[in-house]
Amino acid sequence: MNMIFRRMTIEDVPAAYEIDVLSFSLPWSERSIRFEVSDNPAARCWVADIDGRLVGVLILWMIVDEAHIATLATHPDFRQQGIAKILLVDSLNCAYKDGAKSAHLEVRAGNKLAIKIYKDFGFEIVGSRDGYYKDNNEDAVLMTLNQLPVRLPIIKIPLEEI
């Protein structure tokens, strides 16, 4: 697999939106992705590209010395090939070079797979927001990683233990 990790361009926005729609029950609008790429100086919009096809997206916001992961998704046809792991490692390590000392995110309480991946990277659950997701009133779990830079996980938590 010949994967390139690179910044998202305006031309990538429709394909990034497609991945978002295929991945989330409450996807971002195409307009909001375009805003992040072109008008938000705090945003770092990253993509995974295989032979010119967009297969993964990660957007984070740099807020002083914190990296906030706003969204992460892999195209359904390309899952379980390590794309999310590479997006996480490379984007967080770029954020570290940019001055980030910690990383933060929120995720649906029922998204065990994502929580497992974040825990494998060393993120810890630090709180929750009751009924945060408006489509089904699901709680958000807040996770923090206090140690940057990151490496690919060696020890992995079984999904059943989440």
Ligand X SMILES: CC(C)(COP(=O)(O)OP(=O)(O)OC[C@H]1O[C@@H](n2cnc3c(N)ncnc32)[C@H](O)[C@@H]1OP(=O)(O)O)[C@@H](O)C(=O)NCCC(=O)NCCS
- Which phi and psi angles does 47 have, rounded to 5°? -135, 155
Nearer to ligand X, 47 or 117 (CB): 117
Which of 74, 91 has the CB closer to ligand X? 74
Closest to ligand X by CB, 129 or 156: 156
Residues forming contacts to ligand X in the complex (CB under 6 A) are 23-24, 71-74, 79-85, 107, 111, 113-114, 117, 156, 159
CB of 37 to ligand X, least distance (A): 18
**Cα–Cα distance between 32 and 24 in angstroms, integer?**
15
Please count the other Cβ atoms lying within 10 Å of the Cβ belonging to residue 67: 25
Please tell me whether the peptide bond between 14 and the residue prior to it is cis, using omega within 30 degrees of 0. no
Query: Tokens in use for 40?
Result: 């938000």
Closer Cβ to ligand X, 71 or 91, answer by number: 71
Distance between CA 24 and CA 162 in Å, rounded?
20
* Euclidean distance between CA atoms 142 and 6, whole angstroms: 27
Shortest reach from residue 30's CB to ligand X, in Å: 17
30 - beta bridge partners? Answer: none
To which residue do tokens 């046809």 refer? 77
Q: Which two tokens stand for residue 22?
A: 């295929």
- Complex with ligand X: residue 62 or 79, whichever CB lies closer: 79
